[in-house]
Structure 1
Amino acid sequence: MTGISRAARHRALSAALPLLAVLGLVLAGCDAPWAAKSMEWKRIVPTADCDCADGSEFAFWERRADPTRVVFFLNGGGVCWDANSCAFTSTAGEQEGESEFYDWNLKGTNPENRSGMFDVTRSDNPFADHSFLYVSSCTGDAHLGNVSQKYSDTLTVEHNGYANGTAAVDHLARNYPDATEVVVIGKTAGSIAAPLYGGLVADRLPDARVTVLGGQSGAWPDNPDFNTDVLDAAWGAYDTMPDWAVRGLTAREWGVPRFWTQAGRHDPDLVLSRFDYAHDPNAAVEITEWEHGDSPSLDPVPGFDELAVIDANERAIEAGGVNLRSYTAPGSGHGIFEHKTFYEIEVDGTRLVDWLDALVTDDPPEDVHCTECGS
């Protein structure tokens, strides 16, 4: 198939899928073995050199179902970049391993059988039959870091998120070599790296249609000081990335919105998309220090206009030659993936779940954007 794009290969495969589906139903007794079953997770401890911020064991979770369709889920978990925010100290009643800033180990982390996207017994769940890899962040670096950072004489943090995340990508490539559809979904801080992981997955599984959905990081700014002080100096991410992810950019220029541009330029067959609430007060709360403006929702920068930043970021990404599909819902909601609101969100007559179903199985749909977005 040399010389044929992934999109062309996917279209050819899609043409054969109805026959394959019929054959699969016959072989499975008219019902796939994973259909309508709740989540059953297996904990995977990678053999690679992986660990959490405090040096404890890293793991991810797998739900094995349809081997040709996989969701690669990058969970949130918060971020940190100095001795205060990275301290291994539980605060505000958090359990051991968690603080108001980030999770530094996996104690208490368990995907269990959740609602929302993880309720695979619902007929309107577009991912009901998919296999899942559930990758939590426990390194404070949004799945991007690659440095052992000594913040003080008593605090050394293993910003090891990239090694952890790519170990899960390795597992995906080894165990799902015949995947035809991979959906990379990032949640909150976990979503800022989603387009980069989309590119990594596409490199490893070149015959698969790879869709990326970044959930609730549209308001993260492209701030040169954040890029150099955190992404580069604190997390060591800039020097860790594959060449295509940083090509043509200095560390100061390599900001979060550019992740989308770099991934889309690297692989034009990637389907890139995002979801945001227009005025989510928590979506970018981790990085208020680098926000501009005055707004009531993001203390200590009251008045910051999340929607204006979301829309400006999308315009900048698309000005770079990348088509970013987007769904912008009104109001100040926050969680979607693990809540019943996943099925309830509807904007201008289009349900989010229907939009996602079209996104991953058909020609990508038009953008959905609230007209009355609230405040």
Structure 2
Amino acid sequence: MKTKLVQSVRYTWRNVLPAAAPGCSQGTPYSFWVKEGNPTKVAVILAGGGACWTGENSALHGKRFYRPYAGLDEDPSDLGGVFDSDNPENPLADYTTVYLPTANGDVFLGDSVTVYDVPAMGGQPAGKITILHKGYDNAASALDWVFKTYPEPTTVAVMGWSAGALASPLYTHIIAQHYPDAAVTHFADGGGAYRVGERLAPLFKTWGTANVLKRVKGFEDLSVDSLSLEDLYIRAAELHPEIVFHQYNERHDSIQALFMQLMGVAAPDVPGNLDDGHAYIRAKIPNFCTYTSWGHDEGIIGGYYDGVLSKNALDNRGRPHVLDRFYTRQTNGVRFLDWFTAAVTGKPVEDVACVDSETPEYHWTRPKFP
């Protein structure tokens, strides 16, 4: 009698190397990750990973604020949040999930090859560095693979966090155009406070963002001279009135404050910028909804531990995810998971905003022991 081996079914990630991708910031191969699930339900996630736009913050031997490479070390299998397929509360647990690392310093809005002058620093003499700001083409190559591999999904959730959140409305438009019969949803995790006016124009110019906009149908007439990140939301929402564009931020996001300082903003006002940016979008389009929570962090969909045990949620990342902030976060009595689940499955949600932006609130009770 033969023994039949039964292997338990688990979702696993595999790395995909798209042939047409131009490569990461230094020309090394660009790859992305896929977790096979239900082929009719697809989630596309644009990852965080910072940005660069000067020789000083592009140099590999300096204090980098961007990820210059994408490869096997970007394996998302140990992340929590939407990546934790074992959690029965995860609304994306059975989705086919495509995870696109950022690796070009251009928040997926780049189409240029830029040579920067690097000042003397870190014991190294002054020099030059060439950066492939080709984030758009890398993402486009990955999406081309997705479109061919999953030709007829009925449900598609497009989302991004931190750097990946910034261009997420544009990619939602691109994906919705390709899948006109699918129910497409959008969610951005962070990035709502970059209401910094003309300070964005130099970044867009060095990244070649104008080249990207000219290549995306419906965005061709936008000028980078006056472009704001809110304008990407407005244009995408105008082109897709059937899609509600969702944005999550923490009221005192320290990551956004840091990058505004790198742009030259001496005293970043994250709460004020969030309010101004949200008001600007709402004055133009109705299909926009926000969840603004207490705290100083970002990356909630990536499964960082919540501040129940630590003042800085980014200090405690890993398994088990019993304190995964994706599942424990609550604001004004509204559990973030419930709000997110409704948003990414096409159900209506109300705006949520913290009243006291410093006092933690959790959908979690510390267990009592005898």
TM-score, structure 1 length as denominator?
0.81
1:127 paired residue among 73, 84, 92:
92
Q: Report runs of 4+ in structure 1 exceeding 3 Å deviation.
A: 36-39, 289-292
* Contact 1:184/1:213 (8 A) holds in 2: yes
Q: For the aligned residues, what is the CA RMSD?
A: 1.9
Residue matched to 1:347: 331
In structure 2, the CA distance between the partners of 1:266 and 1:222, relative to structure 1 (3 Å rule), is farther
Q: How many residues are aligned here?
A: 320
Matches within 5 A, 1:26-175: 38-89=10-61, 91=63, 99=64, 101-106=65-70, 108-152=73-117, 154-175=128-149
- Could you tell me how far 1:50 is from its partner in structure 2? 2.1
In the TM superposition, what is the alpha-carbon distance from 1:39 to its structure 2 partner? 3.9
Is 1:325 the counterpart of 2:285 in the alignment? no
> Quick one: structure 1 residues 362 and 56, their matched pair in 2 at CA, closer, same or farther if it must change by over 3 Å?
closer
SS at match of 1:154: strand
Shift of residue 125, structure 1, vs aligned partner? 0.8
Tell me how far apart the structure 2 counterparts of residues 135 and 49 of structure 1 sit (CA, whole Å): 12
Which letter does structure 1 place at the counterpart of 2:328? Answer: E
Aligned to 1:176: 150
**Alpha-carbon offset, residue 219 of structure 1:** 0.6
Question: What residue in structure 2 maps to residue 360 of structure 1?
Answer: 344
Question: Residue deviations 1:137-159, cap 9 Å, x none?
Answer: 11000011011111146311100
Summarize deviations over 1:305-360 as a string: whole Å, max 9, x none.
Answer: 21121121111011112421111111223331222000001112221111111112
Residue identity matched to 1:252: D
The structure-2 alpha-carbon separation of the partners of 1:324 and 1:222, relative to structure 1 and needing over 3 Å to count, comes to: farther
SS of residue matched to 1:244: coil
**Are positions 1:226 and 2:200 aligned together?**
yes
Gaps of 5+ in 2: 1-7, 118-126, 304-323, 360-370
Unaligned regions of 5+ residues in structure 1, if any?
1-35, 92-98, 293-300
**1:151-189: CA deviations, max 9, x gaps?**
146311100100001112212211112211111111101
**Distance in 2 between the 1:321 and 1:246 partners?**
19
Amino acid at match of 2:290: S
What is the CA–CA distance in structure 2 between the aligned matches of 1:291 and 1:129, rounded to whole Å?
A: 43
Partner Cα distance (2:94, 2:301) in 1:
16
Seq. identity, %: 29
Contact 1:325/1:364, CA 8 A, preserved across alignment: no
Distance 1:327 1:337, change over 3 A: same
Q: Superposition pairs for residues 233-312 of structure 1, below 5 Å?
A: 233-241=205-213, 242-247=216-221, 249-290=222-263, 301-302=266-267, 304-312=268-276
One-letter code of the match for 1:336? I
Residues in 2 aligned to 1:161 and 1:307: alpha-carbon distance in whole angstroms: 29
**Per-residue CA shift, 1:3-40, capped at 9, x if unaligned?**
xxxxxxxxxxxxxxxxxxxxxxxxxxxxxxxxx96541
Question: For residues 123 and 321 of structure 1, what CA distance do their matches in structure 2 show?
Answer: 35
1:22 corresponding residue in structure 2: none
Alpha-carbon distance in structure 2 between the residues aligned to 1:90 and 1:175: 40
TM-score, normalised by the number of residues in structure 2: 0.82
